[in-house]
Amino acid sequence: MNYNTEIRSEGFAIINDVFTEKEIENIIALIENNTANNQENATFRKSQDLFAIRQFHKEIPETLDFIFNENLKEIIESNFGKGYFITKSIYFDKPEKSNWFVAYHQDLTISVNQKIELENFENWTVKQNQFAVQPPTEILENNFTIRIHIDKTTKDNGALKVINNSHSKGILRIENLDFESEKETICEVEKGGVMIMKPLLFHASNKTTNNERRRVIHIEFSRQELPNGLEWSEKMTLN
């Protein structure tokens, strides 16, 4: 399962049939059981357009045995190598009638344990005691994200749109992209498939128009240590 050339040149790859129907059912059951019992949890965000669980791998660690099956472990190792750890994870549930959409953007921040003034670490924010910062570009360039699709995702229920190869241009303001000359791809993924993407790839998603739910587990990875005592706040080493 080597998609290294595609990831390097386009900034993303779609791989279907990574999870069996049974593995997806087990993940769904664990999520539903946990959310039914923890409605007031501070890491949960709920509105009519979106339900999200931040720090997902810490909130529902029982899912990790199903998520990191042999297929996914082989995908990570064959495309990126060894030594990677989780730095962030979010579960998104976009309901059937969701009007939630996200404009084109790059993923520019990482979650860290504290605020330390460091050169080239910029745009600090804090939400619910969680610090986020924009690190030096090379840290972002060497990280990757895997999005696990619990439902079939199409252009009609908010599949990601991406600008091919936009990850290779560094950190950009969206108005500096010439959309007339860029290639846009709608990343439709089957249930049980994954999308791999680079953080600097410009991506967006539209509103749902087909009355179909979209659930995705978004996991970010790195193998880089941060400088001067700064730590990844959600770091979890893979077995």
Cβ neighbour number for residue 105 with a 10 Å cutoff: 10
Distance CA 80, CA 75 (A): 8
Q: What is the pLDDT of residue 41?
A: 60
Q: What is the pLDDT of residue 82?
A: 94
The model's pTM is: 0.94
Question: Rg for the chain (alpha carbons), in Å?
Answer: 17
What tens-digit pLDDT sequence spans the chain (239 residues)?
789 999 999 999 999 999 999 999 999 999 998 887 665 565 566 665 568 899 999 999 999 999 999 999 999 999 999 999 999 999 988 877 777 788 999 999 999 999 999 999 999 999 877 899 999 999 999 999 999 999 999 999 989 999 999 999 999 988 888 888 999 999 999 999 999 999 999 999 988 888 888 999 999 999 999 999 999 999 999 87
In the chain, the domains with their CATH numbers are: 4-237 (2.60.120.620)
Contact 133, 122 (CB under 8 A): yes
Contact 49, 99 (CB under 8 A): yes
Go through the chain and tell me how many residues it has: 239
In 79-171 the beta strands, taken as DSSP E runs, fall at: 85-94, 102-105, 110-112, 122-127, 130-134, 144-149, 160-163
Q: What is the pLDDT of residue 158?
A: 87
Closest CA to 141 of 226, 230, 238, 222: 222
Q: What is the pLDDT of residue 130?
A: 87
3-state SS string for 102-123: EEEECCCCEEECCCCCCCCCEE
Q: What is the pLDDT of residue 122?
A: 97
